[in-house]
Amino acid sequence: MPRGPPSANPNAFIAALPDAPGLDASLIKGNVPQDQKRLSANALAFFVDSQGKSYNAGVGKRIKLVEINTRKRRGEAGKETDEMETVCEIVVEPDMCNVYGVLHGGCAAYIIDPCTSSALVGLGLYLGVDGTGMSNSMQIIWHAAAPLGAKLRIVNTSLSIKGRVRSARCEIWNTRTGELCISGVHSTVNASKKLPSAKL
């Protein structure tokens, strides 16, 4: 399938998004440029639907992007790759809990989705590639309960952007107790190209 011209911006969609409601990118910590912080926050707000029209948007719009950092990671045979880490925060509220008053497993999976995607979108912005994608798989381990009122620190780290496949890991920490509550790996597939229709 033919590609667009070399000058085409793979992140034109992200760049065209409106600013996230109440965004002050100067409050986002980290070592990436200010404009990338703004674009990353705008992308997170878009994908959680901060306007409140899609699934669980009431929870999603409370996820705050608080830090973005890039660094080099040394892999096998000493090869270095770029890595992006984003940190998000949210407080566990009643609409996020199960009948026992702790974070519902389904809500945890929902939180992992956009938060890990923020690391992939951020890495894409940094590398000049499209870091977006549709969920392909998610592996989650629950280590400890996150009770009502807990402030959660969600640390997301890119693992790979190669071809159309992207992956990132996530750790959700209780900031009061210092416990790791949940960890996971999220894999996505970029479908920016038109896919053939399925025939049933």
What pLDDT is attached to residue 8?
A: 76
Distances 27 to 2, 61, 95, 129 between C-alpha atoms, Å:
41, 17, 27, 26
CATH (one of 3.10.129.10, 3.10.180.10, 3.30.70.3270, 3.90.1170.50) for 28-145+152-189? 3.10.129.10
Structure tokens at 24: 């002050």
Nearest to 65 by CA among 146, 17, 10, 121: 121
pLDDT digits (tens, 9 = 90+) for 78-120: 788 899 999 999 999 999 999 999 999 999 999 999 999 999 9
Percent of the chain at pLDDT exceeding 70: 92
Amino acid of residue 17: L
Res. 55: pLDDT tops 70: yes
- Whether residue 89 contacts residue 66, with contact meaning beta carbons closer than 8 Å, is answered with yes
Q: Which residue has the tokens 């011209």?
A: 5
Prediction pTM value: 0.88
Q: What is the Cα–Cα distance from 123 to 45, expressed in whole angstroms?
A: 17
What pLDDT is attached to residue 5?
A: 45
- Give every CB contact of residue 12 below 8 A, 6+ residues apart in sequence: none
Cα 53 to the center of its chain, rounded Å = 19
Instruction: Determine the average pLDDT of the residues in 145-151.
Output: 98
